[in-house]
Protein backbone atom coordinates (compact mmCIF):
# COMPACT_ATOMS: atom_id res chain seq x y z
CA UNK A 1 0.00 0.00 0.00
CA UNK A 2 1.32 3.44 -0.96
CA UNK A 3 0.94 6.27 1.52
CA UNK A 4 0.63 9.85 0.33
CA UNK A 5 0.92 12.58 3.00
CA UNK A 6 0.14 16.29 2.94
CA UNK A 7 1.43 17.46 6.36
CA UNK A 8 0.38 21.08 5.86
CA UNK A 9 -3.23 19.97 5.43
CA UNK A 10 -2.93 17.00 7.82
CA UNK A 11 -4.09 14.63 5.10
CA UNK A 12 -2.95 11.04 4.59
CA UNK A 13 -4.11 8.91 1.65
CA UNK A 14 -3.62 5.16 1.23
CA UNK A 15 -3.35 4.06 -2.39
CA UNK A 16 -3.24 0.33 -3.27
CA UNK A 17 -0.09 -0.98 -4.90
CA UNK A 18 -1.66 -4.20 -6.23
CA UNK A 19 -5.05 -5.79 -6.74
CA UNK A 20 -5.11 -7.72 -3.49
CA UNK A 21 -5.02 -4.44 -1.52
CA UNK A 22 -8.20 -3.19 -3.21
CA UNK A 23 -11.84 -3.48 -2.24
CA UNK A 24 -14.41 -4.86 -4.70
CA UNK A 25 -15.62 -1.32 -5.42
CA UNK A 26 -12.08 -0.06 -6.08
CA UNK A 27 -11.31 -2.94 -8.45
CA UNK A 28 -14.52 -2.29 -10.38
CA UNK A 29 -13.69 1.40 -10.78
CA UNK A 30 -10.10 0.74 -11.89
CA UNK A 31 -11.04 -1.97 -14.38
CA UNK A 32 -13.89 -0.01 -15.92
CA UNK A 33 -11.46 2.90 -16.50
CA UNK A 34 -8.77 0.48 -17.76
CA UNK A 35 -11.11 -0.83 -20.45
CA UNK A 36 -11.75 2.77 -21.51
CA UNK A 37 -8.01 2.96 -22.21
CA UNK A 38 -8.07 -0.32 -24.13
CA UNK A 39 -11.00 0.91 -26.22
CA UNK A 40 -9.23 4.19 -26.97
CA UNK A 41 -11.75 6.34 -25.09
CA UNK A 42 -9.14 7.86 -22.77
CA UNK A 43 -5.32 8.03 -22.85
CA UNK A 44 -3.01 6.29 -20.41
CA UNK A 45 -2.17 9.64 -18.80
CA UNK A 46 -5.87 10.45 -18.38
CA UNK A 47 -6.42 6.99 -16.89
CA UNK A 48 -3.68 7.41 -14.27
CA UNK A 49 -4.97 10.84 -13.27
CA UNK A 50 -8.53 9.51 -13.09
CA UNK A 51 -7.47 6.68 -10.75
CA UNK A 52 -5.26 9.05 -8.70
CA UNK A 53 -8.16 11.48 -8.23
CA UNK A 54 -10.43 8.57 -7.23
CA UNK A 55 -8.12 7.40 -4.45
CA UNK A 56 -7.21 10.86 -3.15
CA UNK A 57 -10.57 12.57 -3.61
CA UNK A 58 -8.73 15.31 -5.49
CA UNK A 59 -11.16 17.94 -6.84
CA UNK A 60 -10.14 20.73 -9.15
CA UNK A 61 -12.24 23.80 -8.38
CA UNK A 62 -13.14 26.99 -10.19
CA UNK A 63 -9.83 28.68 -9.35
CA UNK A 64 -7.94 25.80 -10.99
CA UNK A 65 -10.14 25.96 -14.10
CA UNK A 66 -9.57 29.72 -14.45
CA UNK A 67 -5.80 29.32 -14.05
CA UNK A 68 -5.90 26.42 -16.52
CA UNK A 69 -7.42 28.68 -19.18
CA UNK A 70 -4.72 31.25 -18.46
CA UNK A 71 -1.98 28.60 -18.75
CA UNK A 72 -0.88 29.06 -15.12
CA UNK A 73 -1.23 25.48 -13.88
CA UNK A 74 1.95 23.95 -15.26
CA UNK A 75 3.50 23.24 -11.86
CA UNK A 76 0.41 21.65 -10.30
CA UNK A 77 -0.33 19.70 -13.48
CA UNK A 78 3.21 18.30 -13.48
CA UNK A 79 2.84 17.32 -9.80
CA UNK A 80 -0.47 15.54 -10.42
CA UNK A 81 0.92 13.80 -13.51
CA UNK A 82 4.08 12.56 -11.77
CA UNK A 83 2.19 11.41 -8.65
CA UNK A 84 -0.37 9.55 -10.73
CA UNK A 85 2.36 7.95 -12.83
CA UNK A 86 4.34 6.89 -9.76
CA UNK A 87 1.40 5.56 -7.72
CA UNK A 88 -0.97 4.18 -10.38
CA UNK A 89 1.51 2.56 -12.75
CA UNK A 90 1.06 -1.04 -11.53
CA UNK A 91 -2.26 -1.61 -13.32
CA UNK A 92 -0.77 -1.88 -16.82
CA UNK A 93 2.47 -3.45 -18.08
CA UNK A 94 4.30 -1.52 -20.77
CA UNK A 95 5.07 -3.78 -23.73
CA UNK A 96 6.79 -1.21 -25.93
CA UNK A 97 6.76 2.53 -26.54
CA UNK A 98 3.04 2.83 -27.32
CA UNK A 99 1.54 -0.48 -26.16
CA UNK A 100 0.32 -1.44 -22.70
CA UNK A 101 -1.26 -4.64 -21.43
CA UNK A 102 -3.68 -4.88 -18.52
CA UNK A 103 -1.91 -6.56 -15.61
CA UNK A 104 -4.91 -8.16 -13.91
CA UNK A 105 -3.31 -10.93 -11.86
CA UNK A 106 -5.22 -11.98 -8.76
CA UNK A 107 -6.80 -15.20 -7.49
CA UNK A 108 -9.51 -13.21 -5.68
CA UNK A 109 -12.89 -13.09 -7.37
CA UNK A 110 -13.84 -9.42 -7.10
CA UNK A 111 -17.08 -10.08 -9.00
CA UNK A 112 -18.76 -12.47 -6.59
CA UNK A 113 -22.24 -11.59 -7.82
CA UNK A 114 -23.69 -10.51 -11.16
CA UNK A 115 -27.21 -9.43 -10.32
CA UNK A 116 -28.83 -12.46 -8.66
CA UNK A 117 -26.15 -14.85 -9.95
CA UNK A 118 -23.27 -16.04 -7.78
CA UNK A 119 -19.78 -16.78 -9.04
CA UNK A 120 -16.93 -19.07 -7.99
CA UNK A 121 -14.89 -18.77 -4.84
CA UNK A 122 -11.34 -17.43 -4.96
CA UNK A 123 -8.97 -19.56 -7.07
CA UNK A 124 -11.95 -21.63 -8.31
CA UNK A 125 -12.05 -23.45 -4.96
CA UNK A 126 -15.68 -24.61 -5.19
CA UNK A 127 -15.76 -25.80 -8.81
CA UNK A 128 -16.43 -29.44 -9.61
CA UNK A 129 -14.53 -31.20 -12.36
CA UNK A 130 -17.42 -31.08 -14.86
CA UNK A 131 -18.15 -27.43 -14.07
CA UNK A 132 -14.49 -26.55 -14.56
CA UNK A 133 -14.12 -28.48 -17.82
CA UNK A 134 -17.34 -27.03 -19.25
CA UNK A 135 -16.31 -23.48 -18.37
CA UNK A 136 -12.85 -24.07 -19.82
CA UNK A 137 -14.35 -25.41 -23.04
CA UNK A 138 -16.57 -22.34 -23.51
CA UNK A 139 -13.66 -20.06 -22.65
CA UNK A 140 -11.44 -21.71 -25.25
CA UNK A 141 -14.20 -21.31 -27.84
CA UNK A 142 -14.42 -17.65 -26.90
CA UNK A 143 -10.69 -17.29 -27.62
CA UNK A 144 -11.09 -19.22 -30.88
CA UNK A 145 -13.81 -16.89 -32.12
CA UNK A 146 -12.42 -13.65 -30.75
CA UNK A 147 -12.22 -12.14 -34.24
CA UNK A 148 -15.98 -12.65 -34.62
CA UNK A 149 -17.44 -10.39 -31.94
CA UNK A 150 -20.97 -11.82 -31.98
CA UNK A 151 -19.92 -15.48 -31.76
CA UNK A 152 -17.23 -14.66 -29.21
CA UNK A 153 -19.69 -12.95 -26.89
CA UNK A 154 -22.12 -15.87 -27.25
CA UNK A 155 -19.46 -18.26 -25.94
CA UNK A 156 -18.55 -15.75 -23.26
CA UNK A 157 -22.19 -15.71 -22.11
CA UNK A 158 -22.21 -19.52 -21.94
CA UNK A 159 -18.97 -19.38 -19.96
CA UNK A 160 -20.57 -16.94 -17.53
CA UNK A 161 -23.73 -19.05 -17.26
CA UNK A 162 -21.60 -22.07 -16.33
CA UNK A 163 -19.87 -20.50 -13.33
CA UNK A 164 -22.52 -17.93 -12.26
CA UNK A 165 -25.78 -19.42 -11.02
CA UNK A 166 -28.64 -18.31 -8.75
CA UNK A 167 -29.25 -19.49 -5.19
CA UNK A 168 -31.96 -21.99 -4.31
CA UNK A 169 -34.68 -21.80 -1.63
CA UNK A 170 -32.15 -22.57 1.13
CA UNK A 171 -29.79 -19.79 -0.02
CA UNK A 172 -27.21 -22.13 -1.54
CA UNK A 173 -25.81 -21.70 -5.01
CA UNK A 174 -27.65 -24.02 -7.39
CA UNK A 175 -25.55 -27.05 -8.32
CA UNK A 176 -24.11 -27.10 -11.83
CA UNK A 177 -25.19 -30.72 -12.21
CA UNK A 178 -28.66 -30.92 -13.71
CA UNK A 179 -28.76 -27.14 -14.11
CA UNK A 180 -29.94 -25.70 -17.45
CA UNK A 181 -27.56 -22.94 -18.52
CA UNK A 182 -29.10 -19.50 -18.93
CA UNK A 183 -26.66 -17.52 -21.12
CA UNK A 184 -29.37 -15.02 -22.09
CA UNK A 185 -29.23 -13.59 -18.57
CA UNK A 186 -25.70 -12.32 -19.27
CA UNK A 187 -26.41 -10.56 -22.55
CA UNK A 188 -26.98 -7.30 -20.68
CA UNK A 189 -23.88 -7.68 -18.50
CA UNK A 190 -21.27 -5.13 -19.64
CA UNK A 191 -18.76 -6.80 -21.94
CA UNK A 192 -15.79 -5.48 -19.95
CA UNK A 193 -17.03 -7.31 -16.82
CA UNK A 194 -17.33 -10.61 -18.70
CA UNK A 195 -13.87 -10.15 -20.22
CA UNK A 196 -12.37 -9.37 -16.81
CA UNK A 197 -13.87 -12.56 -15.36
CA UNK A 198 -12.43 -14.52 -18.31
CA UNK A 199 -8.99 -13.01 -17.58
CA UNK A 200 -9.34 -13.83 -13.87
CA UNK A 201 -10.38 -17.44 -14.61
CA UNK A 202 -7.42 -17.86 -16.97
CA UNK A 203 -5.02 -16.51 -14.37
CA UNK A 204 -6.40 -18.92 -11.75
CA UNK A 205 -5.71 -21.81 -14.15
CA UNK A 206 -2.16 -20.53 -14.61
CA UNK A 207 -1.67 -20.42 -10.82
CA UNK A 208 -3.00 -23.96 -10.40
CA UNK A 209 -0.43 -25.13 -12.92
CA UNK A 210 2.58 -23.14 -11.77
CA UNK A 211 2.40 -21.54 -8.32
CA UNK A 212 2.83 -22.64 -4.71
CA UNK A 213 -0.68 -22.97 -3.25
CA UNK A 214 -2.35 -23.49 0.10
CA UNK A 215 -5.14 -26.06 -0.28
CA UNK A 216 -6.90 -27.48 2.78
CA UNK A 217 -4.12 -26.03 4.91
CA UNK A 218 -1.40 -27.79 2.93
CA UNK A 219 1.26 -25.98 0.93
CA UNK A 220 1.50 -27.72 -2.42
CA UNK A 221 2.80 -27.16 -5.91
CA UNK A 222 1.05 -28.88 -8.81
CA UNK A 223 3.56 -27.93 -11.51
CA UNK A 224 4.96 -31.47 -11.61
CA UNK A 225 1.61 -32.59 -13.06
CA UNK A 226 1.93 -30.17 -15.97
CA UNK A 227 5.41 -30.40 -17.48
CA UNK A 228 4.46 -28.62 -20.69
CA UNK A 229 5.33 -24.92 -20.96
CA UNK A 230 2.44 -22.63 -20.06
CA UNK A 231 0.33 -21.08 -22.76
CA UNK A 232 -0.08 -17.34 -22.73
CA UNK A 233 -3.32 -16.24 -21.15
CA UNK A 234 -5.84 -13.55 -22.10
CA UNK A 235 -5.41 -13.92 -25.85
CA UNK A 236 -5.32 -17.63 -26.65
CA UNK A 237 -6.71 -20.98 -25.61
CA UNK A 238 -5.83 -22.54 -22.27
CA UNK A 239 -4.68 -26.15 -22.31
CA UNK A 240 -4.86 -27.63 -18.82
CA UNK A 241 -3.04 -30.69 -20.09
CA UNK A 242 -4.81 -33.63 -18.43
CA UNK A 243 -7.99 -34.56 -20.31
CA UNK A 244 -6.65 -38.06 -20.81
CA UNK A 245 -5.81 -38.40 -17.14
CA UNK A 246 -9.40 -37.45 -16.26
CA UNK A 247 -10.68 -40.32 -18.38
CA UNK A 248 -8.31 -42.68 -16.56
CA UNK A 249 -9.64 -41.48 -13.20
CA UNK A 250 -13.21 -42.14 -14.29
CA UNK A 251 -12.24 -45.60 -15.54
CA UNK A 252 -10.38 -46.41 -12.31
CA UNK A 253 -13.51 -45.74 -10.25
CA UNK A 254 -11.61 -43.87 -7.52
CA UNK A 255 -14.36 -41.26 -7.33
CA UNK A 256 -17.10 -43.47 -8.76
CA UNK A 257 -18.31 -43.62 -12.33
CA UNK A 258 -17.89 -40.89 -14.93
CA UNK A 259 -20.88 -38.89 -13.66
CA UNK A 260 -19.74 -39.11 -10.03
CA UNK A 261 -16.20 -38.15 -11.03
CA UNK A 262 -17.59 -35.07 -12.76
CA UNK A 263 -19.35 -34.05 -9.54
CA UNK A 264 -16.10 -34.28 -7.56
CA UNK A 265 -14.44 -31.03 -6.57
CA UNK A 266 -11.59 -30.02 -8.86
CA UNK A 267 -9.27 -29.62 -5.87
CA UNK A 268 -9.93 -33.23 -4.74
CA UNK A 269 -9.01 -34.44 -8.23
CA UNK A 270 -5.82 -32.37 -8.24
CA UNK A 271 -4.75 -33.58 -4.80
CA UNK A 272 -5.38 -37.18 -5.85
CA UNK A 273 -3.30 -36.71 -9.00
CA UNK A 274 -0.48 -35.12 -7.00
CA UNK A 275 -0.40 -37.95 -4.45
CA UNK A 276 -0.36 -40.51 -7.27
CA UNK A 277 2.48 -38.66 -8.97
CA UNK A 278 4.49 -38.48 -5.74
CA UNK A 279 3.91 -42.18 -4.96
CA UNK A 280 5.07 -43.18 -8.44
CA UNK A 281 8.19 -41.03 -8.05
CA UNK A 282 9.07 -42.78 -4.78
CA UNK A 283 8.76 -46.20 -6.41
CA UNK A 284 11.32 -45.36 -9.12
Q: Mind listing the pLDDT tens digit for each residue in 87-139?
A: 778 899 888 777 889 999 999 999 999 999 999 999 999 999 989 999 999 99
Q: Residue 276's pLDDT is what?
A: 79
Phi, psi of 114 (to 5 degrees): -125, 100
Buried b (16+ CB within 10 A) or exposed e, 117-154: bbbbeebbebbbbbbbbbbbebbbbbbebeeeeeebbb
**Does position 257 have pLDDT exceeding 70, yes or no?**
yes
Most confident listed range (61-75, 99-113, 203-217): 99-113
Task: Assign 242 a pLDDT band (cuts: 50, 70, 90).
Answer: low
With 50 as the cut, is the pLDDT of residue 68 above it?
A: yes
Q: Is the confidence at residue 234, as pLDDT, over 60?
A: no
CB 238 within 8 A of CB 202: yes
Which pLDDT tens digit goes with each residue over 213-227? 887 777 888 888 776
Nearest-angstrom CA–CA distance, 253 and 225 = 20
Q: What is the pLDDT of residue 61?
A: 63
Percent of the chain whose predicted confidence (pLDDT) is above 70: 82
Q: Which of 26-35, 84-93, 112-121, 258-267 has the lowest mean pLDDT?
A: 84-93
**Average pLDDT of span 189-206:** 96
Contact 131, 139 (CB under 8 A): no
The stretch 188-200 carries a mean pLDDT of 96
Amino acid sequence: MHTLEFPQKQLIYSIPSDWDECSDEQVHFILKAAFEVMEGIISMAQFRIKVFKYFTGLKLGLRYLIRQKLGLNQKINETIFHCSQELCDWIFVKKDEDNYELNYETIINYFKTIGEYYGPEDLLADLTLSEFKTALNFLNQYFDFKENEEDAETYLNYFMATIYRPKNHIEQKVSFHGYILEPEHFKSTPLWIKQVIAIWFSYCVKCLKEEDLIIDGLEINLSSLFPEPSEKINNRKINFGWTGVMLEIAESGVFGNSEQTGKTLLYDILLYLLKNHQDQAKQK
